Amino acid sequence: MQERDLREEISNIKNEAIAQIMSAKDVSELENIKIAYLGRKGKLNLLIKELKNIPGDERKHTGILINEAKNTLIEQIVNKKNAFKESARKWFDPTIPGHKPIVGHLHLITQAIREISKIFEDMGFVRVRYPEVEWDWYAFGALNFPENHPARDDWETFFVDALPSPKYGPMILTPHTSSGQVREMLMVKNSPIRMINIAKCYRRQSDVSHVPMFHQFEGMVIDKGISMVHLKGTLDYFARNFFGSERKTRLRPSHFQFTEPSFEIDISCNVCKGKARLPNGQGCRLCKEGWLELGGAGMIHPTVLINGDIDPNNYTGFAFGWGVERTYMMKSGLEIPDIRLIYSSDLRILRQF
């Protein structure tokens, strides 16, 4: 056999063996390949017998090629065996602890809504939800807002590009869950109502305590003999269960078109602990005065009851509306100085929950 033919055969045998090694399915198959190519009667060892027919200098060079091919195949077989061992150890060895998968969790707003719902449901409130795309009449007209009220301005409310209704006016993205008040009254009629309406709302606002899309929860109770005492007791019960007994609340007289009397409910800031300043001496960006506004509340205006087909001479009621995001930011132990962070992908914020 000529030298160049023997070199070509060495290369072909090596490539053929490597292909079989790479496609081997188990260690047993690798052993068979090893015997077939490297055994005493293997293909490479049989070529050594041909060296005697090659002149001296050429014989030496050809022998080196055979040894290099053998070493390459041995290395490939060892690597393949190690791969099998690693695979078996990783997937089949029951004594090795498993790898815990990364598990996510519900968004904090979903968690907040569930927690808020549970507290009010324990008091007998029924969870409802009304349209996010609403008519102007339900959002404003039925709630005693005059035609020229600033809340109806397009700098405050998102208006939908659609034909207005002759009866209900323009179509809007509801700016508050209060639009569900009259809908609930018309549905239930002159029966006792304990409603908690939680839904998305939309306003053209964006700063440390406002976002254009947010969630509100609207509570409403209507029955005979309902007074401010019932409202105050309901809000105190919620505050104790949601925020904890160490937080303080206060009431401020206010004005809303759909309640009379009306007031704002504030709670001591959880970021600065009600001091209006952080431990480093800087002013608190969230509250600025040590208090955070939760939302509005009051006794339902008689005009609103009439618009809901309820006789204000026989029934009274109260209502309140708070933002879910702002309310959750005020929980003790949380550090969220900007409401916009809630809808960011900053894991330092999201991993708190």
C-alpha distances (whole Å) from 246 to each of 192, 239, 273 are: 34, 10, 10
Distance in angstroms (rounded) separating the CA atoms of residues 168 and 141? 8
C-alpha distances (whole Å) from 138 to each of 170, 186, 277 are: 11, 11, 41
- What order of strands is seen across the sheet that includes strand 126-128? 126-128, 193-202, 213-223, 316-323, 291-300, 259-268, 249-256
Distance in angstroms (rounded) separating the CA atoms of residues 133 and 200? 10
Tens digit of each residue's pLDDT, the chain (353 residues): 444 477 788 888 888 888 888 888 888 888 888 888 888 888 888 888 777 777 777 777 888 888 888 889 889 888 888 887 766 555 555 676 777 888 888 888 898 999 999 999 999 999 998 999 999 999 999 999 988 888 777 668 899 999 999 999 999 999 999 999 999 999 987 679 999 999 999 988 777 767 889 999 999 999 999 999 999 899 889 988 998 887 778 889 998 889 999 999 888 887 787 888 888 888 887 787 888 888 899 999 999 999 999 999 999 999 999 889 888 877 766 667 777 878 877 777 777 66
One-letter-per-residue 3-state SS of 198-252: EEEEECCCCECCECCEEEEEEEEEEECCCCHHHHHHHHHHHHHHHHCCCCCEEEE
Query: 6 with 47: CB under 8 angstroms?
Result: yes
**pTM for the complete prediction?**
0.65
Q: Which residues pair with 259 in a beta bridge?
A: 256, 300
Distance in angstroms (rounded) separating the CA atoms of residues 263 and 296? 6
- DSSP tag of 345: -
- DSSP tag of 130: -
Three-state DSSP at 144 gives coil
Query: 62 with 54: CB under 8 angstroms?
Result: yes
Q: Which two tokens stand for residue 148?
A: 């020229």
- Residue 352, Cβ neighbours under 10 Å: how many? 11
Chain CA centroid to CA 100, Å: 21
Query: 224 with 314: CB under 8 angstroms?
Result: yes
